[in-house]
A and B are shown apart, each in its own frame.
Chain A
Amino acid sequence: MTMADLIVAPVVLPAFLAPLIVLWMRFDLRTQRVFSVAGMVVLLALALGLAASASLNPPQVYRLGNWEAPFGIVLVLDRLSALMLVLTAALGLAVVLYAIGSGWDKRGWHFHSLMQFQMMGINGAFLTGDAFNLFVFFEVLLIASYGLMIHAGGERRLKAGVQYVVYNLAGSTLFLIALGTIYSVTGSLSMADLAQKVAVMPASETGLLRVGAALLMIVFAVKAALVPFQFWLPATYTNAPGPVAALFAIMTKVGVYAIIRFYTLVFPMGGTIGALAQEVLLPAAAVSLVIGMVGVLGARDLGRTVAYAVIGSVGTMMLAFAQFTELATGAGLYYMVHSTLAAAALFLITDLVRERRGALGLSISPSAPIRANGLIAAFFFAGAIAMAGMPPLSGFLGKLMILEATRGVWWLWAVVLVTSLIAIVGFARAGSTVFWKAYAVEGEAPEAPRDASAPGLAFTAAGGLLAGLVALTLFAGPASAWLNATAAQLYTPQAYISAVMDGAYERAWSATSGHEGAADHTEEPGPAAPDAGH
Chain B
Amino acid sequence: MEALVASAIGLMTAAGIYLILRLRTFPVVLGMSLLSYAVNVFLFATGRLAVNMPPILEHAGAATPGYTDPVPQALVLTAIVISFGMTAVVVMLSLGAFIEAGDDSIDLGPEEKTK
Contact = CB atoms under 8 A, between A and B. Distances in A.
B86 A172 contact: yes
Given A159-B97, A533-B68, A361 B86 contact: no
B101 A143 contact: no
Contacts of A189: 71
A162 B93 contact: yes
Contact of B90 (A162, A173, A531): A162
A183 B82 contact: no
A534 B48 contact: yes
B78 A159 contact: no
B90 A300 contact: no
B48 A165 contact: no
A166 B82 CA distance: 14
B93 A150 contact: yes
Given A158-B96, A166-B20, 20 more contacts: A146-B93, A150-B96, A156-B108, A161-B97, A162-B93, A163-B108, A166-B106, A172-B82, A172-B83, A179-B75, A180-B43, A180-B72, A181-B46, A183-B71, A189-B71, A300-B112, A301-B114, A303-B114, A533-B47, A533-B48
Interface string A23-34: 000000000000
Contact of A173 (B28, B36, B48, B106): B36
A162 B94 contact: yes
Contacts of A177: 39, 42
Interface residues of A, number: 46
Interface of B: 20, 25, 28, 32, 35-36, 39, 42-43, 45-48, 50, 66, 68-69, 71-72, 75, 78-79, 82-83, 85-86, 89-90, 93-94, 96-97, 100-101, 106-109, 111-115
Contacts, number: 124
Nearest to A184: B46
Contact of B115 (A146, A179, A359): A359
12 contacts: A132-B75, A150-B96, A158-B96, A159-B109, A162-B25, A162-B90, A162-B93, A177-B39, A180-B43, A180-B46, A184-B46, A532-B47
Interface in A163-208: 163, 165-166, 169-170, 172-173, 176-177, 179-181, 183-184, 187, 189
A318 interface: no
B112 A146 contact: no
B112 A533 contact: no
